[in-house]
Structure 1
């Protein structure tokens, strides 16, 4: 079978790695990178670290408003589909690359498979939520990581082609954490990143990138003031958008002189180690919430909602939004009980399950 896979952002590269490895045992895979994340640290390094084959097509779309970005992808993906004529198109997650791939294929009557289907935050102000819903309703095969996702789809009248497979991100963490330990090692990582005075479980890790936080001066100010007032040792791999707005709001110099240690965005293996050895994690990322859960680290989520409610139900995650008092309170008080963990994300074999279903299909 000829399969065309569309990716374009960091979380999708991570999910792609174990699935592509399984698919290529029995199928021809054409890989398309839309270029949605075009910075080297946030794109090519993931291909190198995860041994992902070089993309057959690089579309170079880059950043832009949602309509412009999605439209450019739609045009370019359609050209690729017309040229390659695949039997199946695979998309991952909830980005504009996901939506553009699903739209282009469905309009050409090419079957669509959505990996990480069924997720819902129930907040349609989030562009990701609109991308998820639309992609799910366009897809022929829906690979769902948790039972919650299956239930969400059932409520929307989607039951045909739905498969509960487990989470491919869990596959990726299991596959790569040991590699990260052996290839890099935490002591060498601290030295390489200039974290000379850092020790395991003696720092907190923060990742902030969502437009709902970065593009709102009050929210971003509240988040950073809470982190600075906590006096905790906080490591921050700084997203380019966050850096832009910290400078625009006049916060960057203050943050640089604070208890927050700014580092450049890191590769996937480095990020896994930073997560594993953190005391707590503060994030507005969906993927980092899960990775924190997988490595047993308390997660403080800087959002009002999450698509990963399993992490909340197991007591591994807490939602604080941009409320300064809540952020400070949970930095000081939030802890997890490892006995409450239910491992509802599968057994680490989701990629094999997905490949087997596609082969039968």
Structure 2
């Protein structure tokens, strides 16, 4: 009748449902044409007749169906012996969620109905038609989840203690797809803006005193953003959201950016006479491959023949910033690739 929602943090599916139980009871048969004033149908209390004793075994509150009390429920009895029972219940069933593709995820939740105290020799559960469907008259759509498919699978399982006995059960499966529009506006869109702003680090000059402050502001914003996302995610390590991984990657990149900017500011204070050690020159030589080969465009000082090819602290500073630009570019490529993989 209604799907209240699927709580990610507690992994609980809440839904309002009613069942249509029908069976034949030979005790309640009569010839309505010859006697009883042509009465062919009666409505009696569920407490006055036999009703099937079934349980929703993954319900976290009350497992028996008809938990509201049989005195408040009724059974329709027909003259041919067929009984019809319409118990309604608000279910709160456990559902293991997979958050890996949040907010483009699809979840499969199962409602397990079983007969505990009667084996298959005296009690068998079967489905009518498809076994499960939405009510045309009562169903209320959920704003966060869309029902893609409903299915029912009746089968029998062996007793855990005595393998000679089998019990009847029905598994109802609900395939739910998240409506991602709200999450795209509230989480994905701000994240793209923050990632774009992080690229501005490459255009702000190191001489500007606000560059380090800008990097720190970006880093703290990502930390707060990550905290807001973690509050809605289940505390589980079985599956980790790719979205959480992306935000963690941005925090790592922001931390490395702060480190490089701080070193760059320090290198700006070194004089030209200070010479880097051999180890430092070897560490930063590979990055120079990605720099512009025309040194005249990026070098303002004049070197004599003895200093030609010598690496100064300013050269290391330029190579650090070149490496930072490469890191930011790779970060964008990896982030976009993960987003495409999640959507597909």
Q: TM-score range by the shorter chain?
A: under 0.3
TM-score (ref. length: structure 2): 0.23
Larger helix percent:
1
Larger radius of gyration: 2
TM-score (ref. length: structure 1): 0.23
Larger strand percent:
2
